[in-house]
Structure 1
Amino acid sequence: MKQFSFVVALLCTQLFVQAQSNVAPILEDFYHHPERVLVTAHRAAHNKYPENSIAAIKEAIRIGVDVVELDVRSTKDSVLVIMHDGTITRTTGQPGAVRDYTYKELQAFHLLFNGQPTEEKIPTFEEALKLLKGKAMLDIDFKEASPEAAKKTCALVEATQMASQVLFFLYAAKYAPYLHDLDPNIPIMPRSHNAEETEKIMQQGKYAAIHIDDSFYSDSLMSRVRAHGERVWINALGKYDDMEEKQKDSGFDAMMKAFKYANCIQTNYPEELLAYLKKKGLHR
C-alpha cells in the first residue's frame, strides 16, 4: 500500500511538473523572442465548441495555442464569469443580462453551439484560471466598469498564482496606472487607438503588449514598439479571418505582409494560424 501511494504521489508530481513546463516555452517566447509570432484563440477554440466554454478552452490548450482570450463579466451576486455579450440571449437563448442573474441561476442554462444546446454551462473566471494554469497564457478581456470587479479579478489571479500567465487587456490606456497600483504583478495590455496614443503609451511605461489597430499601423512605429520591449498585438478578426475562411493561407499571407512587426495575432482560426506560422518558421 505504501509503495502504491508512493507511485501515485510520484506520478502526480510528474504531471504537475509537466503541466508547469507546458507554459514555460510560451512565456520564454512572449518575453524574450519577439521574432516569434504568438497565436491567440479568440473566445477560446470556438470552432468546435461554444465560445468561452470549458470545452473550448480545453481544445485551445490541446491544439497548442499560446494565449486564450476570454471575456470577464460579473453576475448579480458578484461572481465573475466568462461571457462576451452583456446579455445571455445569443449564447444561451435566454433573455436578460448577465448581471440580472445570480451565478446559481445562470447554471440552469446551457451554452449553445450553432444554435443548439450543449452540455456546456457558463464557466466562472476562477475555473478558467485553474484550467489554464501551467498550460497557456490568458488574455483577460475585462468587460466590467466597476473598481470592485477589477479588484476581485486581480485577487483571483493572485489566489490561483496566475499573475505570470495573464495579460489584462484595457480598452483605455488611462486606466493602466490604476491597475498597476492595484496589482503591480499583473502584466497589462492597453489598447491604442492611433499613432499619437501609441507614443504616449510608450512614454507612460513599459507594458507586456500594446493592442494595435490596422487603421494606424506603420512599420516605423511598430518597430519602435518592439524596440521598447512590448509585443505588437493585432487582430485577424474580420477581414483576414474572412479571407482565410474562403481560401487557405490567403488571409494569413496578406496579414503578415501588411503587418510585418505584428508578433501576437488574435484569430478565430487558431489551429490554422499555428500551422501556417510553423510552416513559415515563425513559431517554435
Structure 2
Amino acid sequence: MRLAVLVLGLLLCLVTGAASLAPIPPSNRVSLIHDRLLNANLNRDHVMVVAHRAGWKKDGVIMRAENSFAAIDHAVSIGVEMVELDVRRSKDGVLVIMHDETLDRTTTCHGKVADHTLGELRACQLLVEGQRRPTEEHVFTLEEAMLHARGRIMINIDNKIEPEALVEVADIARSLGMPDGVLLKLAVWDADRLQLARDIRRAISPDIALMPILADDAVTEPAFIDRTESSIGAPAAELVHWHRDASQPITADGGPLLSPLARAAAIRNNAHLWINTYPITDRPEGMVAGGRGDYLALKTGRPEDVWGFFVDRGVTIIQTDEPEAVIAWLDAQGLRRPYDLTN
C-alpha cells in the first residue's frame, strides 16, 4: 500500500510538472497589448496585427460571419492583438455591431439598421457571406461585443455614425471596467477636424486611446501629422495611402505619410504607424495601401513586397483580412514577440 501511494504521488508530480510547462495565456493579455500600444518606441521590434471585421477570411475565402463572436474567438486563438468592429445605431438608440448601413448583405434581414429596433435586430441571423449560410449568431450590441472580448483582445472601433458617438463608446467601455480594451479613431484632414478630435479627446478623458485616421489626399505635411499626433496624445496613426487607379503603378516609397519626416514625427510622439492592407470590394487591390494589399502578397508569393515593404518604412501595426498569413510571415522574420508576464 505504501509503495502504491509513493508511485501515485510520483505520477501526480510528473503530471503537474508537465502541465506547468505548457504555455498558459496570461489573464491580463489585454493590459499587455495595451501597454505595447501606448509605448511604441519601446516595441518597434514587434508588429501588431489587427483583424479587419474581426477576421472573416482565410486565403481569400470567407470562413466566418464578419463582425461575429466566432470571428473574435478565432482572432484570439491565433494571437491577433485587436479586432476591428463596425458600430451603428438602432432605431431605439442602441449601439450595435454592423458594417453596412443596411442588413441585406450580412444578415437574414433587410432594410436599414437605423430603421429597426434592437428587438427587431435580435431576430436577424448573421450570414457567412458568399455562401449566404445563416449562423447561430444574431445581431449583437457593442456592449455585448465588449463583454465577449474583455480581457482577451482589444477592439478597434470603426464608428459608422456621428463622431460624437465615440464619447458614448468610451462611456460603455469605462462602465464595463475595460478602458484599456478599446481603441477609438477619427478621420482628421484639416484644422477644423483636428479641433473636433481635441474636443472628443477631452470628453473621453486620457484613459481611453484615440488615434487619427490620416489620408494622403488631404494630409501630406509632416508638421500637421506631428501636431495631430501630439495634440490628442495618439498612440498610433492609421494611414491611408490611396491607389484608386489599377492602371497606375503601385507605390514605390509609401507616399508622404511614410516619408522620413512623417516617421520622425511618429517617433517624437511615441506613436505607431498603422497601415491597412485589406481589399475594398470592387476596387483596385490594396486601394488604401498604395496598391500593396494582402492578395498581392498571397498571389505572388512575395509577402516581403507588401507587409515587408511597410515594415521597412516604420509600420508597426497592420490591419488585414489575412491575419493568419501576416502573423506567420512576421513570426518567420522575427518581428513578433510573445506576450508573457514580463511583456
How would you bin the TM-score normalised by the shorter chain?
Answer: 0.7 to 0.9
Q: Is the contact between residue 236 and residue 266 of structure 1 (CA under 8 Å) also seen in structure 2?
A: yes
| Aligned residue runs from structure 1 range 139-218, under 5 A | 139-145=156-162, 147=164, 149-172=165-188, 173-174=193-194, 175-184=196-205, 185-193=207-215, 194-196=219-221, 197-214=224-241, 215-218=255-258
Question: Kindly tell me: are residues 150 and 217 of structure 1, through their superposed partners in 2, closer, same or farther at Cα, counting changes over 3 Å?
Answer: closer
Provide the C-alpha distance between the structure 1 equivalents of 2:326 and 2:84, rounded to a whole number of angstroms: 15
- For 2:183, the aligned partner's letter is L
Q: Does 1:73 align with 2:88?
A: yes
Distance in 2 (alpha carbons) for counterparts of 1:21 and 1:165: 11
Match of 1:246 in 2: 299
Equivalent residue for 1:255? 307
Query: Relative to 1, partners in 2 of residues 1:253 and 1:170: Cα closer, same or farther, differing over 3 Å?
Result: same
Over 3 Å counting, the alpha-carbon distance change for 1:224 and 1:200 in structure 2 is closer
* CA contact 1:34–1:226 (8 Å) conserved in 2: no
Aligned-partner SS, 1:135:
coil
5 Å matches for 1:1-284? 20-32=27-39, 33-47=43-57, 48-113=63-128, 114=130, 115-145=132-162, 147=164, 149-172=165-188, 173-174=193-194, 175-184=196-205, 185-193=207-215, 194-196=219-221, 197-214=224-241, 215-220=255-260, 221-238=262-279, 239=286, 240-248=293-301, 250-259=302-311, 260-284=313-337
Conservation of the 8 A alpha-carbon contact between 1:61 and 1:135: yes
4+ residue runs of structure 1 moved beyond 4 angstroms? none
The 8 Å contact of residues 144 and 150 in structure 1, kept in 2 or not, is answered as no
Distance 1:217 1:181, change over 3 A: closer
In structure 2, distance between residues paired with 1:151 and 1:257 = 36
**1:252 and 1:51, CA in 2 relative to 1: closer, same or farther beyond 3 A?**
farther
The CA deviation at 1:19 is 5.7
Count of residue pairs brought into register by the alignment: 266
Task: Report the aligned-residue RMSD.
Answer: 2.0
Deviation at 1:226, TM superposition (A): 2.5
Partner residue, 2:249: none
Choose between structure 1 and 2: higher helix proportion.
Answer: 1
Equivalent-residue separation in structure 1 for 2:26 and 2:122 (angstroms): 29
Per-residue CA deviation, residues 108-158 of structure 1 (Å, 9 max, x unaligned), is 1111112222212112111111111111111111111163x3333121111
Q: Which moved more, 1:237-246 or 1:72-81?
A: 237-246
TM-score normalised over the length of structure 1: 0.86
Query: Residue 209 of structure 1 contacts residue 232 of structure 1 at CA under 8 Å; is this kept in 2?
Result: yes
Q: Cα distance, 1:39 vs. partner?
A: 0.2
Q: Secondary structure at the match of 2:155?
A: strand
Q: Give the gaps of 5 or more residues in structure 2.
A: 1-23, 58-62, 242-254, 280-285, 287-292, 338-343
Q: Is the partner of 1:86 in helix, strand or coil?
A: coil
Question: Secondary structure, in 3 states, of the residue corresponding to 2:298?
Answer: helix
Aligned letter for 2:308?
M
Shift of residue 93, structure 1, vs aligned partner: 4.6
Retained in 2: the 8 A contact 1:202–1:228? yes
**Higher mean C-alpha displacement, 167-176 vs 134-143:** 167-176
One-letter amino acid of the structure 1 residue matched with residue 208 of structure 2: I
After superposition, the Cα gap between the structure-2 partners of 1:166 and 1:146, relative to the gap in structure 1 and judged at 3 Å, is closer
Q: CA deviation at 1:62?
A: 1.1
Q: Which runs of 5+ in 1 are unaligned?
A: 1-16
> Which of 1 and 2 has greater Rg?
2
Tell me the distance in 2 between the aligned counterparts of 1:255 and 1:280.
11
1:41-100, Cα deviation, whole Å (9 max, x unpaired): 001121221000111111111111011111111100111111111111111153211110
TM-score, with structure 2 as normaliser:
0.72
Q: Deviations over 1:143-185 (max 9, x none)?
A: 11163x3333121111111211211011235222122121112
- Aligned residue for 1:243, secondary structure, equals helix
Any conservation in 2 of the 1:91–1:112 contact (CA below 8 Å)? yes
In the TM superposition, what whole-angstrom CA distance separates every residue of 1:18-37 from its partner, at most 9, and x where no partner exists? 66322243233323313311
